[in-house]
Amino acid sequence: MLCAGQQPLVHADLLSKPWGAQWITCPGVAQRGYGVYHFRKKIQLQRKPEKFVIHLTADNRYRLFVNGTPVCFGPAQGDLYNWYFDSFDIAPFLKEGENVIAALVWNMGEYAAVAQVSNQTGFVLQGSGAAERLVNTDTSWQVFADSAYRPCSLNNGSLLKTYFALGPGDHFIAANYPWGWEKSLFDARAWPHAVKVGSAAVPVGYGTDNRWTLLPRTIPFMEQTFQRLHKTRRTDGVQADEHFLNGKAPVLIPAGKKASLLLDQSFNTMAYPELVVSRGRGASVKISYAEALFNNGRKGNRNEIEGKELIGNYDLFEPDGQEKRIFRPLVQRAFRYIQLDIVTGQEPLVLEDIYGMYTGYPFQEKASFTSSDTTLKEIWKVGWRTARLCAGDTYYDCPYYEQLQYIGDTRIQALISLYMSGDHRLMKKAINDFYNSRVPEGLTQGRYPSNRLQVIPPFSLYWVSMLYDFMMHRSDDVFLRQYLDAAAGVLSWYEKHIDTGKAMLGPMQWWNFTDWTSTYIPMGVPPGATDGNAAVLTLHYAYTLAQAATLFQHFGRTEEARRYQFMAGRLNKGTYEHCFDARRGLLGDTPDKNAFSQHTNIMAVLSGAVDARQQVNVLNRLLHDSALAQASFYYRFYLVQALKKAGMAERYYEQLTPWRQMLKEGLTTFAETPDPSRSDCHAWSASPNYDFLATLCGITPLTAGFKTVQVKPAMGQLTFVSGSMPLPAGNIQVMINKEAKNSAAAVIALPAGLTGVFIWKGKTYPLKEGKNEYRF
């Protein structure tokens, strides 16, 4: 598992002065166009070093080799103002004598994924100290422009009839590839020397006329884990079984034949597939990837293949007739199914092996959950897989279609990460990414990093909520304080859009996406967003203002906190007065009360627009009124929060039907929306992993920084729950057993230094560090 952990400290000079290393590139190529390049440099070492730290990055991406061994890849995605560099100790890969440092660098150019910000092709590598600086990039490095790669699979959006934001597939022609280029014995004497790109590399805050400004990587390197496909589901023109997938039985495809193999991982994954072949000069292999198969545009049960076809993005591989050639795409692929469509020429092709290298953010599952309902184990397992596949250099909305970091998704994903792994590093990077995305009006962009502008004002409010969440779950005020002025800017933008006559928001600009529900037309936008007085947007603003008041009060900004609280109350009052329908006992989506939704009434509870006496009635009505616009998987996260606020958290357990239905339909990750769903893996739908701990077990922070804890289980029909979740100080453990109809036992263990309260059937009991036991 290379590249999973090393991240040496960066010398202070590299954070405050120009680097000695130069950005370099390949001469004579279109610097902003598609291209794949090999950089290499030979060095001589008198002895094998104990330590040899380097810092490196590239535009767009790189994969580093030392003496032929792949060492790491990157960089983490950012933008031109925040271009991340990686640090790595390569001493274990060096030897006495001659060594080769090599980097594969690619620029997807005009075909780049929407998440890829870029300036031009470039590579920089800096040795950390005096001994390492002989590897600094300059014109002594050599470079080769690789004609083996061409872009393909360029019309996936049209093919799949949906939005597709990823880059191209790889058309790889093995005969054009400089095999062995990363090793010492390779003869690179004919390769040209690299050329410099402008001025020296500089860190953030320094330089002038910069193409990139550099800052250290803030997250760990990605995990890589070997993964085998499980089943051969369909073959045509060839015989193959699981022995081939186990790497034990090569498959021979005779000359002049066509063949097809449909392979099933048995669950969705995110991996670099690696196909190993021998011979096959003149052959062509199309490698297609899909989360699910289609029948007339519909997926149906994901386990079923009869009458279905694979439609999706693909790579093309042309072998050169040599032995044990490996095809690996430049970018990882998301898939459950892989289909190999093969046409051989005048020479037989041998499929030696195919497998994957699972790749993603190295979250570790440190939380646990069990209950009297054993079927919840599968929801927990599938939810965690969903969350993991949607986390890499950034949080992804989905791995197959976009790999874009959206704030609405990310808020939920970050809470899942905190509860499941205790790792907050990717959350901190996401908060900072969105901070860097701000437009002149003060709003964040809806997704970022992104090379296309997209502003979703409600998502800017969720960014403020992320700051509140971080404050409640972690103690890092130095980190958090730097974002308060930006949060105030978001809230100020909204304030300028208030219709003071009604004390509601007036006409709103940009894309006011709220949820994927059939009555929010177009594009998930609620009634009143464009023309003014959208209740759900106003109440969402009020909900965020209340969180901002707590956030700003925490930092001693009392006057702003009071003002936010006052504004929230005024908006709640205005919306209730104009939108509450006494006959239905619900708030309409606009003052004309022609449309009603679960969303507006969920936010009415969360914002406090309906008081405690009404909250139960409102929620009971919205849970049973099928005529309301229904909350999708995404907005059900907020439904649960509303149930908890109204003292109705016991109803949570019965809300799991949609997740049970997805499992019945053969999904191995949770989907974006109920069928017909575009994405079969969408991390906002993994919220049960958070709620099993935060709702069923009832573990939530009582005060900022999780300095004290509240344990308020809401078990519903369950008779037993046991959960554990990590904090920096140690694990919180909760076990509740309803021993009989009117009796229960609770065991709650808190890490050293943590205290709190346990709430059971409306009564509050103290919790101290260590083991706490109660019987009722």
Q: Please name the amino acid found at residue 538.
A: T
Same domain, 85 and 182: yes
With respect to residue 474, please indicate whether it lies within any of the assigned structural domains. no
Half-sphere exposure of 701 (CA within 13 A, CB side): 18
Tokens 């099993």 -> residue? 692
Tokens 């072998």 -> residue? 319
- Is residue 266 within 8 Å of 230, Cβ to Cβ? yes
With respect to residue 583, please indicate whether it lies within any of the assigned structural domains. yes
Cβ partners under 8 Å of residue 133, min gap 6: 20, 126, 127
Same domain, 78 and 23: yes
601 phi/psi in degrees, rounded to 5: -80, -30
Of 296, 328, 360, the last residue of a domain is: 360
With respect to residue 445, please indicate whether it lies within any of the assigned structural domains. no
Specify the DSSP class assigned to residue 14.
G
| pLDDT in the model for residue 8 | 75
Same domain, 306 and 247: yes
Of 218, 240, 261, the last residue of a domain is: 218
- DSSP assignment of 535-546 equals HHHHHHHHHHHH
Q: Distance (Å, rounded) from C-alpha 402 to C-alpha 30? A: 26
With respect to residue 699, please indicate whether it lies within any of the assigned structural domains. no
Same domain, 203 and 244: no
| pLDDT in the model for residue 740 | 76
Spatial CA neighbour of 747 closest among 736, 755, 738: 736
For residue 125, give the H/E element and its range: strand 122-127
| pLDDT in the model for residue 7 | 67
Q: Domain of 629: which CATH number?
A: 1.50.10.10
Same domain, 232 and 338: yes
Spatial CA neighbour of 215 closest among 108, 106, 87, 89: 87
Same domain, 144 and 31: yes
For residue 470, give the H/E element and its range: helix 457-473
Q: How many domains does the chain have?
A: 4
pTM, full prediction? 0.96
E-strand stretches of 237-361: 251-253, 258-279, 284-290, 314-318, 325-327, 333-343, 349-360
Spatial CA neighbour of 72 closest among 212, 254, 217: 217
Output the six-digit token pair for 296: 């007339």
Tokens 């006496």 -> residue? 613
Same domain, 205 and 235: no
| pLDDT in the model for residue 241 | 82
| pLDDT in the model for residue 4 | 43
Same domain, 214 and 129: yes
Output the six-digit token pair for 450: 């992104």
Of 344, 360, 376, the last residue of a domain is: 360
With respect to residue 237, please indicate whether it lies within any of the assigned structural domains. yes
Q: Distance (Å, rounded) from C-alpha 657 to C-alpha 90? A: 51
Tally of CB atoms within 10 A around 323: 10
With respect to residue 325, please indicate whether it lies within any of the assigned structural domains. yes
Cis bond leading into 451, ω under 30°? Answer: no
Spatial CA neighbour of 352 closest among 511, 240, 227: 240
Same domain, 202 and 243: no
Q: Distance (Å, rounded) from C-alpha 451 to C-alpha 231? A: 39
Same domain, 275 and 344: yes
How high is the mean pLDDT in each 10-residue block of the chain (776 residues)? Answer: 59 92 97 98 97 97 98 96 96 97 98 98 96 96 98 94 96 98 96 92 92 96 97 94 91 97 98 98 98 96 97 97 98 98 97 97 98 97 98 97 98 98 98 98 98 98 98 98 98 98 97 95 96 98 98 98 98 98 97 97 98 95 95 97 98 97 98 96 97 98 97 97 96 93 92 97 96 95
Specify the DSSP class assigned to residue 692.
I
Q: Distance (Å, rounded) from C-alpha 411 to C-alpha 434? A: 11
With respect to residue 367, please indicate whether it lies within any of the assigned structural domains. no
> 730: alpha, beta or left, given left = phi > 0 and alpha = psi -120 to 50?
left
Q: Domain of 198: which CATH number?
A: 2.60.120.260
For residue 748, give the H/E element and its range: strand 743-750
Same domain, 206 and 321: no
With respect to residue 429, please indicate whether it lies within any of the assigned structural domains. no
Same domain, 206 and 286: no
Q: List the domain range (segments joined by +) for residue 133.
A: 12-150+162-218
